[in-house]
Structure 1
Amino acid sequence: MRIHFIAIGGSAMHNLALALHLKGDHVTGSDDEIFEPSKGRLDAKGLLPDAFGWFPEKITTDIDAIILGMHAKADNPELLKAKELGLTIYSYPEFLYEQSKHKTRVVIGGSHGKTTITSMILHVMHYHDREVDYMVGAQLEGFDVMVKLTDDNDFIVLEGDEYLSSPIDRRPKFHLYKPNIALLSGIAWDHINVFPTYENYVEQFDIFLNQITNGGAIIYNEEDSEVKRVVEDSTSLIKKYPYQTPSYTVVDGETLLDTPEGPMPIEVFGKHNLNNLEGARWICQLMGVDAADFYEAIATFKGASKRLEKIAETKTAVAYKDFAHSPSKVKATTEAVKSQFPDRKLIACLELHTYSSLNPEFLSQYKGALDAADSAVVFYSPHAVMIKQLEEIKTEQIDAAFDRDDLIVFTNPADFKTYLYSQEYENTSLLLMSSGNYGGLDFDTVKEYIK
């Protein structure tokens, strides 16, 4: 096929472009800006556009499919030309469905844990040399690309994001995959800029369940009361399998998972990750992997990229960075690190960076999210608030939202770095949570101070 990407430089889009190129399709694309690592990865395969910008002359009648990324706008010149020529235009999730409609589609949904659970499943399959197609939102150890599409594999495992599909398709991505097997990990209000009320957000998961094929299956986390209610209230003709956090212990900073063969040391830790692991086990079971093979493989899983990623460690100190930014993720991640190292001081730092986290109406959702930390720090950039055209946030609002008297708030990157580099890290855990970089923090430099 001849396929053209409008906004090829996005994280998801460029990975799909690479996957189709590897599959043997003829791939071209455009974008007005492309950053690393997308830029280098596209260039290495000869897919980087010769010039940045939009070029309607690239859109010709011999193109079989246009894939439209979220970065493009509805009045994009290339999109308008494609419409004028009557070309087939897909959103990213529409195209993935088109490529997998004759496969068994396994879709991992939920407000949190999607990437980790998908990564765990793929790790197990890779460990046992079982070939599956996939789409996951993080770079995985042992995998060259984040998307794989073939003509031969029976299964495709898809991370089911609830964010919008494209500028001209306002449906959440996970509504378009029509799973045969699905998982729902948790529901905690996110994407407030798209789903303005909690009720509206929850409704998206009702719709997700209705998209599961008749006779299909839903694996669901029954410890999440909203998930339990949504699934058990569903009248869809599907099989329902609840799961919950398995038994485990923490001994001297090591997590031991209870298995039929006895306690087994694992690399990941925290109640939320053990809960994710059990969900992944259920999915793998439905994909034909028995419990013994699952445990053998999962013992070597080190975690998804940017999810509790260890960046430094000594005998008495450790530092992690994590992608956590929504209230439920921040709370779970903070509690996980404190539980793993209960006798160490925990310094937990959170950057408010997303639209939701910088919205004054949403801030109250963070109440108690950093309570497990001995020292709690919040960083946000007033400039980022301005760029996102959001209402101004004052330090007092942050204090009130987190409801913690000793909360430390920074708005200047230099001041935050000074604080970070002046701490004594003996017998300490440092946790840096952000989907950004604290206004230019070099995480490699942080390593030098963990002594």
Structure 2
Amino acid sequence: MRVHFIAIGGSAMHNLALALHDKGDQVTGSDDAIFEPSKSRLQEKGLLPEKEGWFEEKITGDIDAVILGMHAKNDNPELIKAKELGLKIYSYPEFIYEHSKNKTRVVIGGSHGKTTITSMVLHVMHYHDREVDYLVGAQLEGFDRMVNLTAENDFMLIEGDEYLSSALDLRPKFHLYQPNIALLSGIAWDHINVFPTFENYVEQFKIFIDKIVNGGILVYNEEDPIVEKLVEETANPIRKIAYNTPAYSIENGITYLETSEGPMPLEVFGAHNLSNLNGAKWVCQNMGIDEDDFYEAIATFKGASKRLEKLFDKGGAIVYKDFAHSPSKVIATTEAVKLQYPNKKVIACLELHTYSSLNVDFLQQYKGALDKADEAVVFYSLDALKIKRMQEISSDQMLSAFAKEGLKTYTNAESFKSYLYALDLSDTVLLFMSSGNYGGLNMETFISERLQ
């Protein structure tokens, strides 16, 4: 099959391109900007476009499928040419469904935890040599890429993102997958630029539940009242399996999960991750992995990339990086770190740079989000606000929104960097929370220069 990607450089898109190439398909693509690590990974396989930009001459009648990334807009010249030629145009999730329509589709949804839960399930299956097709939102240890597609595997494990599918298809991605087995981890308002009201956002998860195939299975977090309400109200004839946070203890910086065989040490920690683990267990059991085999495998799970990832631990100083940026995730991550290290000083550094987090009205959702930190810092770029054409936020507005005593705010990358380099990090946990990079901060360089 010949496949062309419009916007091949994206995190998910380039991984799909690599997966199809390895499967034996003929792959081409275009993009107006490609960054690392996508650039090197595409180049290694001979898939990196010779020049950046859009070239309608690349679109020819012998292309079997065009895959359109969210980055590409309606007026993209390659898209216009593909329409003129009557080529089959797929959004990313449409193509994934087309590939997996004859497989058992396992879809992990929710405002938070879906990458971690998907990664946990994938880790367990891999540990026990159970091959599955998959689509996950982070790089995992032991896996070459974030997408794997085959003709022979029975299961397709999908991280079900609620963001929009493409410029042509404004449906949330997870509405297209029609799961046989689904999980819903929790609902907390996100993507305010797309879902302007909380009610509109919740409606997307109601539709997700309704899209589960008749007789399918929904594993859901019964500790989330919104999820529980949606599950109670659905008329979809599906089997419902509730999960919650299991019993656990923390001793000397190690979290132990209570099991029938006694306490079991884990590599991950935090109540939210223990809840994620319990959800993953039910999914794995419905994929043919019994409880004992699940526990054996999950004890070795170290986490997904950028999800409470430990970067440094030496001489009393510990550094973590986490993808958390929405209010619910910031609360869960900060609380988890403080509970894990109650006798250390926890310094939490949060970067706000998404449309939702920089919206003045939405900012109030962050009240109390950093309360568990001993010291807290919020970094946000005034330049980013200008680029996004959003209202400027003052330091006073930020302090008022978080309502955290002693909160520091920085809008300049160099000033924030100077703050970090001046810190006394003895007997301290430094926690970075962001889906960005704090205006260009190189974590490895910081750790090397400041701590090693």
TM-score bracket for this pair, using the shorter chain length? over 0.9
- Equivalent residues of 2:315, 2:426 under 8 A apart: no
The amino acid of 2:142's aligned partner reads G
1:349 aligns with 2:349: yes
Deviation at 1:423, TM superposition (A): 1.1
1:69 aligns with 2:69: yes
Aligned partner of 2:141 in structure 1 is: 141
1:234 aligns with 2:206: no
CA deviation map 1:292-330 (0-9, x unaligned): 100000000000000011111124221101110000000
Deviation at 1:110, TM superposition (A): 0.1
Aligned partner of 1:163 in structure 2 is: 163
Name the count of aligned residue pairs: 451
Aligned partner of 1:78 in structure 2 is: 78
Pairing of 1:25-104 with structure 2 (within 5 A): 25-104=25-104
More off after superposition, 406-415 vs 93-102? 406-415
Deviation at 1:405, TM superposition (A): 2.7
Mapped partners of 2:315, 2:391: distance in 1: 45
Deviation at 1:404, TM superposition (A): 1.6
Q: TM-score, normalised by structure 1?
A: 0.99
More off after superposition, 390-399 vs 309-318? 309-318
Mapped partners of 2:251, 2:257: distance in 1: 11
Aligned partner of 2:111 in structure 1 is: 111
1:166 counterpart SS class: coil
The amino acid of 1:299's aligned partner reads A
The amino acid of 1:170's aligned partner reads L
Aligned partner of 1:14 in structure 2 is: 14
CA deviation map 1:45-103 (0-9, x unaligned): 01111111111111111111100001111110000000001110000000000000000
Q: Which runs of 5+ in 2 are unaligned?
A: none
Aligned partner of 2:445 in structure 1 is: 445
1:430 aligns with 2:430: yes
Pairing of 1:157-236 with structure 2 (within 5 A): 157-236=157-236
Aligned partner of 2:321 in structure 1 is: 321
Mapped partners of 1:56, 1:41: distance in 2: 24
1:368 counterpart SS class: coil
Mapped partners of 1:145, 1:307: distance in 2: 17
- Equivalent residues of 1:318, 1:450 under 8 A apart: no
Aligned partner of 1:408 in structure 2 is: 408
Mapped partners of 1:295, 1:315: distance in 2: 32
The amino acid of 2:212's aligned partner reads I
Mapped partners of 1:15, 1:117: distance in 2: 20
Deviation at 1:120, TM superposition (A): 0.3
- Equivalent residues of 1:319, 1:450 under 8 A apart: no
1:257 aligns with 2:257: yes
The amino acid of 1:309's aligned partner reads E
CA deviation map 1:120-152 (0-9, x unaligned): 000001100000000000010010110000000
Mapped partners of 2:292, 2:433: distance in 1: 34
- Equivalent residues of 1:349, 1:433 under 8 A apart: yes
The amino acid of 1:36's aligned partner reads E
- Equivalent residues of 2:185, 2:276 under 8 A apart: yes
Deviation at 1:450, TM superposition (A): 3.8
- Equivalent residues of 2:109, 2:185 under 8 A apart: yes
2:350 counterpart SS class: strand
Cα RMSD of the aligned pairs, angstroms, is 0.8
User: Percent identity between the aligned chains?
Assistant: 70
Deviation at 1:447, TM superposition (A): 1.8
Q: Give 4+ residue runs of structure 1 displaced > 4 Å after superposition.
A: none
- Equivalent residues of 1:187, 1:226 under 8 A apart: yes
Mapped partners of 1:323, 1:200: distance in 2: 25
Mapped partners of 1:410, 1:175: distance in 2: 39
Mapped partners of 1:177, 1:424: distance in 2: 49
Deviation at 1:446, TM superposition (A): 2.8
Mapped partners of 1:193, 1:391: distance in 2: 14
Deviation at 1:231, TM superposition (A): 1.2
1:258 counterpart SS class: strand
Mapped partners of 2:16, 2:353: distance in 1: 26
More off after superposition, 370-379 vs 438-447? 438-447
Pairing of 1:254-403 with structure 2 (within 5 A): 254-403=254-403
